[in-house]
Amino acid sequence: MSLFRTEFRRLTKRRFSRYMTLLGLLVLAAVVVGVFFTNQKIDAGQLAKAERQADQQYQEQVRWAEQERVNCEQAKAAGTPNDGRYPDDCSVISPPSREQIDAKWFLPSTFNFRETFDATLIPFAAILALVGFIVGASFVGAEWSTGGMMNLLLWRPKRLTVLFTKLAALLTGILAVTLPAAVLWFAGFWAVASFRGSTEKVTSGVWQSFALTGLRGVALVLVLTTIGFALASLGRHTAMALGGVVAVMVVFQFGLGILLEMASVQWAEAWLLPTYLLAWMTKKVTLQDYDSCNFNYSGECNPPTLDITWQQSSVLLVVGTVVILGAAVWSMRRRDIT
């Protein structure tokens, strides 16, 4: 029997893999349903209602400004000490113009596919990456902790062949779940936009951009699945991968973030892993240093910025994956199988 088919069957038959995958898909479905029921399609009646509310808000601001101006003049005439409540010149108290009060503020939430869908691919990738990491770690970790790996190597004594075949079966299974889920994710939010929002101005270029973001999300899922698999294989237990993630998040993310903040390090976020994961999905993350200024010719203060690009993130992901997987391969070759 083919080793690959055996490992793929083992993966699909594991109850933990099926339940964890089902849980992840249910969370994704809940997100789509939640967005559907929290958005509305804007019609002419709602636009008219929003305009009336904007007019009402403008009238309230006019009345408030007039009353405050009268109170200011009375306080000045009475010689009441000015504690900073009113300006020296009461005439500067004026309401905003009607154009400054936008009717869009009073419209219900609506899902614009062109403007909003790209952001939904981030939680999609994050949820499936978490599922892939845990399933990958448990797939090989359970084999080590129960002695299944030792029995398998008696049948197929080529260690690296066994390890990489397991990884190939795992990635194939994760990909078989991720790709249909991505198609349903696109279709689900297209339906949300059709019934609860707008699908206007979605050109071929927009679709291409969404597809590229989706492919980066799929790649992120596969990378984190591989890292979970490699960590569990390196430690020969599922807890090695899960414990490693907890250590990275607590010590190297929260702890390091607090330390960098206390030390007033410029671009502290550039040392944190989530920044690079976000840059990978969004193509670029711009960090700003609000503690310093670059003054332009008009005297306006512009904080200096630092761009973290998806190319930089790709280097980090590739190097991290190669190092961790390489350590797992080295451990598989050098350590005794007991």
The Cα-based distances of 184 to 26, 179, 190, 217, 245 in angstroms read 12, 9, 10, 15, 29
Residue 182: CA count within 13 A, CB half-sphere: 24
Using pLDDT thresholds of 50, 70 and 90, give the confidence band for residue 234: confident
Domain ranges (residues) in the chain: 3-41+110-334, 44-106
Q: Which long-range contacts (CB under 8 A, 24 or more apart) does 151-154 make?
A: 153/337
Dist CA 91 CA 121 (whole Å): 51
Task: Quickly count: other Cβ atoms within 10 Å of residue 108's Cβ.
Answer: 13
Dist CA 166 CA 120 (whole Å): 31
- Which tens digits make up the pLDDT trace of 78-90? 776 666 677 777 8
Dist CA 42 CA 312 (whole Å): 41
- Both tokens assigned to 223: 């990378």
Residue with structure tokens 């993350």?
285
Residue 108: CA count within 13 A, CB half-sphere: 16
- Which tens digits make up the pLDDT trace of 139-189? 887 776 666 666 666 566 677 888 889 999 999 999 999 999 999 999 999
> Which residues lie closer than 8 Å to 308 by C-beta, 6 or more apart?
270, 275, 276, 279, 284, 285, 286, 287
Residue with structure tokens 């005794």?
336
- How much is the pTM? 0.82
Average pLDDT, the chain: 84
Dist CA 167 CA 226 (whole Å): 7
Mean pLDDT of 203-228: 94
Residue with structure tokens 């090989």?
140
Helices (H), the chain: 3-13, 15-37, 44-78, 113-146, 148-155, 159-196, 204-235, 238-247, 256-262, 273-282, 310-334
Q: Comparing C-alpha atoms, which of 281, 256, 255, 283 is closest to residue 270?
A: 256
